[in-house]
Chain A
Amino acid sequence: MNTTVDLEVKRRPLVTGNQTFESISDIVCKPVEATPPKWWHIALLGSITLLALLMSMIGYLVWEGIGVWGLNNPVGWGWAIVNFVFWVGIGHAGTLISAILFLFRQKWRTSINRFAEAMTVFAVICALVFPGIHVGRIWMAYFMFPIPNSMAMWPNFRSALLWDVFAVGTYFTVSLLFWYVGLLPDLATLRDRAKTKTKKIVYGLFALGWRGSSRQWHHYEKAYMILAAIATPLVLSVHSIVSFDFATSQLPGWHTTIFPPYFVAGAVFSGFAMVLTLLLIARQIFNMKELVTMRHLENMCKFILATGMMVGYAYAMEFFMAWYSGNPYEQFAFTNRAFGNYAWAYWIMVSCNVLSPQFFWFKRFRNNIKLMWVISIFVNIGMWFERFVITVTSLSRDFLPSSWGYYSPTFVDVCTFIGSFGLFFTLFLLFLKFLPMVAISEVKGVMPEANPHHKEAH
């Protein structure tokens, strides 16, 4: 066999339906340039209403104090941390798609990465709300940062909670930069297509003078690669450190070494579910079935199945370790988790996270859009419950039975969480209207026309 030449292998096309460079720009820019449809206005109104709910709940919390939440002894960590971990986790799929799949040259990512990165940035914004307000006296929130002061007081550098501030802060900064750098060529496209002066100026301002010269592309691709390399470890580090918030304490059910990988898998799992939830709707509405093909959706289903199995393995391993360690407190914590006062939450978690993705073993179900969407919703619910189960079950059964309690949220807890979806969807709807939701330049780059030898005779 001759090994000196590359074997010609026909790859499946990543863009279907005889698209040209021009038609790609047209499809992606259409939602940005056209007057937004009626549903968009209705959805935005709904989201802003929820956002107002969030703001008023935060206002009430600040005015009245943290007592308006359901927190009390022994459960001092409730929905605020649950929501925080939930939202941070969702962000991870975006980073995984944009950074890790980029470094592994997974070209199918180009159709969905912009969308997923936007989701990352907005999810992290939602997440950041909760540590900000959970301190109660939010004017003291600067205590979370190491700022020189005349009290000679510093945050505890040995505490995982401080590492968390750094981890999530870095994550947000890098995600935002990565997203923005990726947007530059497309912002320039929008600027050049703009019909009004205002649009030209605004898009031009954010395009930072992009002309698309080969020199600029040269720099751009290097910068993108470097940012991808910086973002890649963050996929693993951020949720590892979030898991340290729990794992470095000595509470049975929290104090386990499996937490970092288990949290990272769970984060990617929930993130892909959220991408799927949103993408299925957007793809339908904006008629992008030829850019976001069945193959993309199937790949994401496989990711969900794989990470769902990892999460399921972690659930099982926690029970195994509780038994194998011979530690009666650990054993009690897990027996209590499955059969105790919060068993209902545990079994919701298991059915949503472990059972529901099992459908994706079959190609038939991986091609069924409706089922995919329903399962993605179940996974979202299940992953919220996972954080709830971890946080609350361990705390509610303290070491002394005299300190046992049952935690229930108040309406403020519930409305704050619902309101955070308002923040998320407001940002998302604005994104759909004002920015290209698919990376135009990158999609063009994976089309056969982008190959310099395209149409050449071999």
Chain B
Amino acid sequence: MSGHNIFPKWSNKLPAFILAGLLGAGSVVVVIFWYWFSPANLNVGYQPKQPIPYSHRLHAGELGIDCRYCHTGVEKSPTAGIPPTETCMNCHKLIKKNSPHIIKLRESFSKNVPIEWVRVHQLPDYAYFDHSRHINSGVSCVSCHGRIDQMETVRQVKPLSMGWCLDCHRDPVPHLRPKSEVTNMDWVTPSNQEEEGLKLKALYHVNPREDCTTCHR
């Protein structure tokens, strides 16, 4: 069949190209699922606009109001709780009465209609999460919510993905601190954290489970 070739010369390279293409396509699909579809890519940085531009930086940071002043349920119940208008009114009855935002707040108070705060940290319905269990084990607010005291508007900083939860459930020691420091945003991990963490783990009976029913009940 010499001088009668059906295929051009470049077709010799075709099998190698096809193979490389398939491998490349396979890797791209994995990366799409692994990274692009992941909460780390899709959810981190979520920063919705709130009905009133409440500043955590000012209240929790500058003024140093403890988290638990507003999020009262955090030590006792599964949810930390969004404060009712009444909590704001404790101070704002007197402070900055004429700000347009506070007027809005007062309206909510007098009409008895709650402010519709937009939820930032949203776990799926099939994931069970209990704030009190974590707070009472010496896991700080910062571990999951970041430096709220530095945020003008709250945004999500951690992926809250299953893999991220498991990272800590598999090795909680580096994330533990004394219960008294749980809401302390400035707390610095001591140099002997490995040692201290182990002590706290024993003290608070921290034995996080990894089986399905721990979170999917």
Contact = CB atoms under 8 A, between A and B. Distances in A.
A384 to B, nearest CB: 35
B162 A147 contact: no
A433 interface: no
Contacts of A169: none
A152 B30 contact: no
Given A147-B30, A205-B7, 5 more contacts: A149-B34, A150-B159, A192-B1, A209-B7, A209-B11
B150 interface: no
B166 interface: yes
Contact of A200 (B6, B33, B39, B167): B6
Contact of A150 (B1, B6, B15, B161): B161
Nearest to A192: B1
Given A192-B1, A208-B15, A209-B12, A149 B33 contact: yes
Given A150-B40, A150-B162, A192-B1, A204 B6 contact: yes
Given A147-B34, A209-B7, A152 B163 contact: yes
A-B CB proximity, top 3 nearest: A152-B163, A150-B38, A151-B162
A153 interface: yes
A326 interface: no
28 contacts: A142-B33, A147-B30, A147-B34, A148-B30, A148-B34, A149-B33, A149-B34, A149-B38, A149-B163, A150-B37, A150-B40, A150-B159, A150-B161, A150-B162, A150-B163, A150-B164, A151-B161, A152-B162, A152-B166, A152-B167, A153-B162, A153-B163, A192-B1, A200-B6, A204-B6, A205-B7, A208-B15, A209-B12
A144 to B, nearest CB: 14
A311 to B, nearest CB: 40
A150 B39 contact: yes
A103 interface: no
A142 B32 CA distance: 14
A148 B164 CA distance: 13
Nearest to B35: A150
Contacts of A209: 7, 11-12
A158 to B, nearest CB: 15
B212 to A, nearest CB: 10
A156 to B, nearest CB: 12
Interface of A: 142, 147-153, 191-192, 200-201, 204-205, 208-209
A153 B159 CA distance: 16
A151 B162 CA distance: 4
Interface residues of B, number: 21
Contacts of A152: 162-163, 166-167
Contacts of B7: 204-205, 209
Contacts of A205: 7
Interface in B11-28: 11-12, 15
B19 to A, nearest CB: 12
A201 B163 contact: no
Contacts of B30: 147-148
A205 B14 CA distance: 10
Contacts of A148: 30, 34
A203 to B, nearest CB: 10
A150 B166 contact: no
A193 to B, nearest CB: 11
Contact of B6 (A142, A151, A201, A208): A201
Nearest to A148: B34
A148 B37 CA distance: 12
B4 to A, nearest CB: 10
B169 to A, nearest CB: 10
Nearest to A201: B6
Interface string B149-165: 00000000001011110
A147 B163 CA distance: 13
Contacts of B38: 149-150
